[in-house]
Structure 1
Amino acid sequence: MTDVTIVIPAKNEASNIEELLDGIDAALEPVCDYEVIVVDDASDDGMAAILQARRARAPRLRVLRHDRSGGQSAAVHSGVLVAKGAVICTLDGDGQNPPSELPKLMAPLLAEGSEAIGIVAGQRVGRQDTMSKKLASKFANAIRSRVLKDGTRDTGCGLKAFRREAFLRLPYFDHMHRYLPALFARDGWQVAHVDVSHRQRGGGRSHYSNLQRGLVGVVDLAGVAWLLRRRKKSRPTEIAE
Structure 2
Amino acid sequence: MLISIVIPAFNEEGNIGRLIEETYAEVPPDLLGEVLAVDDASGDGTAAEIKALLPKYPSLRYLRHGHRAGQSAALRTAVLAARFPVIATMDGDGQNDPRDIAKLMRKLGPEGHEPAMVAGIRTGRKGPGSRKLASRFANWIRDKVLADGCPDTGCGIKVYRRDAYLALPYFTSMHRYLPAFFLTYGHEIAYEAVNDRPRLRGASKYTNLGRALIGLYDLVGVSWLRKRTLVPPVSESAAGASLREAGSGEVRTKARVASQGG
> TM-score, normalised on structure 2?
0.88
Letter in 1 for 2:7: I
Structure 1: give runs of 5+ residues left out of the alignment: none
Alignment correspondent of 2:120: 122
Aligned residue number for residue 91 of structure 1: 90
Amino acid at match of 2:159: A
Map residues 4-15 of structure 1 onto 2, 5 A cutoff. Answer: 4-15=3-14
Residue aligning to 1:80:
79
Structure 1 position 234, deviation (Å): 2.2
Residue 36 (structure 1) aligned with residue 13 (structure 2): no
More displaced, 20-29 or 191-200? 20-29
Structure with higher RCO (Cα < 8 A, 6+ apart): 1
Indicate conservation of the 8 Å contact 1:108/1:114, yes or no.
Answer: no
CA distance in 2, matches of 1:114, 1:151: 23
The one-letter code sitting in structure 2 at the alignment partner of 1:193 is: Y
Question: Contact 1:90 / 1:158 at 8 angstroms: preserved in 2?
Answer: yes
Paired residues of 1:31 and 1:103 also in contact (CA < 8 A): no
SS in 2 for 1:108: coil
> Which residue of the partner structure matches residue 219 of structure 1?
217
1:3-82 map, 5 Å = 3-82=2-81
Aligned to 2:138: 140
Q: Which runs of 5+ in 2 are unaligned?
A: 240-262
Which deviates more, 13-22 or 35-44? 13-22
Residue 230 (structure 1) shift: 1.2
**1:197 Cα deviation after fit:** 1.1
Instruction: Give the whole-Å Cα distance in 2 for the aligned partners of 1:118 and 1:215.
Output: 30
1:231 paired with 2:229, answer yes
Aligned CA RMSD, in angstroms, stands at 1.4
Matches within 5 A, 1:94-105: 94-105=93-104
Q: Which is worse superposed, 48-57 or 188-197?
A: 48-57
1:154-233 map, 5 Å = 154-233=152-231
Contact 1:14 1:45 (C-alpha < 8 Å) held by counterparts:
yes
- Measured in 1, the distance between the counterparts of 2:58 and 2:237 equals 47
Query: How far apart are the structure 2 equivalents of 1:10 and 1:70?
Result: 11
Cα distance in 1 between the residues matched to 2:213 and 2:72? 17
SS for the counterpart of 1:117 is coil
Runs of 4 or more, structure 1, over 6 Å off, are none
Q: Is the 8 A contact 1:28 1:34 kept in 2?
A: no
